[in-house]
Every structure is written in structure tokens, then in C-alpha cells.
Amino acid sequence: MKRKREEKEAAAEKKMEIVWQTPANPPEKHDYIFRDGRRYVRPYYFEFISHVKNRWAGKTIVNLFAEEFKGRPYDYYVSAVKCGRIQVDGEMVPVSYIVKSSQKISHFLHRHEPPVMAWDVPILDKEDDVVTVWKPATVPVHPCGQYRKNTVVGVLQAEYGLAPLFPVHRLDRLVSGLLILARNATKADLFRQEIEAGKVQKQYVAKVVGEFPEDEQIVDVNVNYNAREGRSTAEVGNSCDGSSIKGKTACTKFTRISTDGIHSIVSCKPITGRTHQVRNLF
């Protein structure tokens, strides 16, 4: 059943129109396809732009990519230059082309974003310089990794024409909750100053298995975030015994709201703000 479903989805995706895009192209409503409770993005080619650094100058375009971007084989870059997927200053160049400092290099890549759940991103409050929304789980806040359009910022731009938006804080992709976005850089900076001054606090509510202790629990450990793998681990150690503790300090207060003996509803108040902090402490 699973294999048949995957084959069906793959066939449907092949029928989707491939679209050429650049960073200047905003997400639009017709970019999204809803199927089986998921939000898909039509495949597209995206222009990744970089400018030649001084240390890159004097290298051939192919050697530059092969030495600086080692995620793909040399032959790929030769082919990409020949067919125009890699361009310099908007023009096709030969594989022997020598790059010069400050030139614009464009690399057009086929993007096939992972699907997210097909939940809406409802606007709870909209003011001249602030918008507050309900972020659904599975949807990242802003473009990152494999996601660009399947993000809260992308959906708000496509469906409500809200742009630019500046996330004041963020929630992990798998987390749902209130999300505040500033509508200009000045307001965003003001919010950041208030957060740093401790005037704004976050609170999470989690459902956990088991009967959580009635008394407030304070957990103070280190969270070691691996950006490459996109996951974190909690590190506990004692500096007195010479053990090496990795990660950043993370302190969280947990308070039981209710329990039925099988599950508990718990209030989680992070004192620090680390990636995956709350998730890794249960």
C-alpha cells in the first residue's frame, strides 16, 4: 500500500509544471497543491546568488565550485556550466572562464520542497507594524534548508500579501503555537531589545506520558545542537570530575497543570532560549 501511494504521488508530481524562480519572486497561491491532507509546492528552479570573494578570484568557474562547494562531483559542475545552470553576471560562460572579484554567480537548482501538513496559518491579530498568527506544526517559520515556500512567512506572503515580515522569535518546525512577526525592521529591533531585557517571556504547554511531579521542577542541563543533523541532545556532566560537557546551558521550569495518572499537561517556561530546549528535557 505504501509503495503504491508513493508511486501515485511521484506520478502526480511529474505532471507539475517546473517553474523558474529567483529570490525576487514571491510565493503565490498557485505555487501550492493540496493533496491527502498535505501542502505541496510545485517544483521549481531557484537561483542561488553569490558574489566572487577575493580569494575566489583567478579560479576557473568549475574549479571554484568544485573546491568551495564539495557536495557535488566535479562532472556535475562541468555540465551545469555548459548548459547554463551556472552563470556569471547573468551570462553563460565556458568551463575555462576565470572569475573576477565581486562578479555575481548564479546557480540554478531544481527545488522540490518536502510537504507539510495542509493546515492554515490563521491571523489572530494584525496591526500596522505587527501581525500575530497561529503557527501549525510541521511548518518552519522562515526559509531554511529544504524549505522556502512551505514556511509560515511564505504562506502569509502568498495568501495574504504580507511582506516583508520579520519573525520576532521562532518556533521549531514540529511545534505549534503563537508566533509574532514584525512588519518592519524598526519594530523587529524593538521586540528583540525587549526580549533581551527579559520583558517578553515564552511559555509552552506539553502533554507528556506519565504522572508528572506536583512540585515545580527546574532542569538545568546543556543542550548540544547539531546543525548538520538538525537535532539536539541533552548533556549532563560534572565539571568537578573532569568530564567534558558539550553544548550550551539550558534552564527550564516545569509545572504540572493537570494529570489523569496516565498523561500530564505541563507548563514549560524556558529561562534560556536554546534550539530544541524543551523537547530534549523530557
Identify whether the C-beta of residue 167 lies closer than 8 Å to the C-beta of residue 178.
no
Question: From the centroid of its chain, how far is CA 28?
Answer: 19
Residue 172 annotated among the catalytic residues of the structure: yes
Identify whether the C-beta of residue 235 lies closer than 8 Å to the C-beta of residue 246.
yes
Pairing type for strands 38-41 and 32-35 reads antiparallel
Q: How many other CB atoms are there within 10 angstroms of residue 127's CB atom? A: 9
E-only strand ranges, the chain: 19-21, 32-35, 38-41, 44-51, 86-88, 104-111, 116-117, 123-126, 130-135, 166-167, 177-182, 204-209, 217-226, 231-235, 248-259, 263-270
Q: Which three cell numbers stand for residue 221?
A: 542541563
Strand partners, 281: none
Cα→Cα distances 220→17, 83, 251, 270, Å: 51, 55, 4, 10
Comparing C-alpha atoms, which of 164, 224, 168, 166 is closest to residue 24?
164
From the candidates 120, 128, 172, 260, give the one annotated as an active-site residue: 172
Cα→Cα distances 142→37, 157, 193, Å: 21, 11, 21
Reading phi first (left if > 0) and then psi (alpha if -120 to 50, else beta), residue 149 is in alpha
Pairing type for strands 44-51 and 19-21 reads parallel
Distance CA 93, CA 101 (A): 16
- The residues carrying an active-site annotation are 172
